[in-house]
Chain A
């Protein structure tokens, strides 16, 4: 479909299939609920759950927040704060587990 150039930030792609992403999110949520109560080792469950949570977050970020289609400069800006979380948490956890 045509997009007039007058509008700022106008994307030049067709709409992603938002409903399909919604289905993925719902399925992942259901899977999380199942995995959380399986009789597996705690560490395994934690890794799987966190992985799934990040997967869902990535879907929201990439498709609903349109990062998939934005200029690289904006994508770098968007993820820039994340390493700081890792630095803070990993450093301080060593107070208790090392």
Chain B
């Protein structure tokens, strides 16, 4: 008995001393792997990393704050207002709209979302050469795709804030990246896009099933966007060349029915170059899972409050009322007018629909992105958060208008430019006007109303200070000045940076 006990005690002690090593203290996660090179070493896993780099694209509409890209940009134009329940309902939107954003009241999620995308794009680039089962061609394609995605995120940051921390390798301790000026940011974006485009490894247009991926056309549109916003004449020829690449490829064309663009059938049509992809089918977004994959809450957000009797739209929360001037700028025979903006009085006259006005109500609504009936069917999450309306970022009509503008700017063929402008006007059911920078900008205003282009056009064309003045929307009381070009950097970032971030002089 004693012997047995002693032996077992010694055995137990021995067992324990033996096991009490660092091996015993090293445990593995039950359902995850280390997220380093030991994981990102195959095509499958690099594809996962690449997918993850697109993921933040779909958060802008809601990630604990509503910062949909077209919404925020248009709020700074003369076309729309914030609306909703009142001045304090999404205060940051009202502030931005009135050029009175504060470091504590600005679209700070956009900052974080873009950097999430950058971090994830960097991971693809960091590990791409680690994938043993990928061909060099595949690696080149992934590299170009991730680089363009990163450039896209940086472009958004650059347009909003200008002077930002820029890094191409993810940060390690002490997690500080120096802030660089807006011109330096521009140079880096443009250079990375040129290298990706010139590698010529991306398809001009996605094959079926791959819609949503970066294409050569998307990269070229982004390049033109950046170069034209920077007014960098030295790169105009390259930008023009890229536009002509797209046009010459014949992979894209205008659709004949402008209104069809905004229906779900119009998504990824032949005119579409890049969209943020949302899907209602199996859409899992919910209030407790705001960044799950699925649909968008943006349609609900700008939907018509208390709507009833509409044969095609669901109601919503009444944000983003459209200014009457935006409706009235169209010729009455412009097919784009009623396809873009819903004039409720006229609408109600045809079907007896009613609604309850909210703050800054105008009676006009952004029809392009209104929630369609059944637009959220098939979702598993919250119905309100899963509308399938994709956000159109680049359309072929912009390629044509870019080309026209770049032709004028580089002293190219006027006829050619006229042809591109006419093509857009003809589709809208309008007669030709003489091609000029102003006419192109006017055309862009109408063609892209509600698509978040107008404000950037006003800034780059130097018209912002004259157009975006107090009274340019019903409730705007401040004037745009050059210092409003860059939003205030979120206060939390200034605080955390401990002196390494300089606030914009907003």
A-B complex is real: no
Chain B contact residues, CB within 8 Å of chain A? none
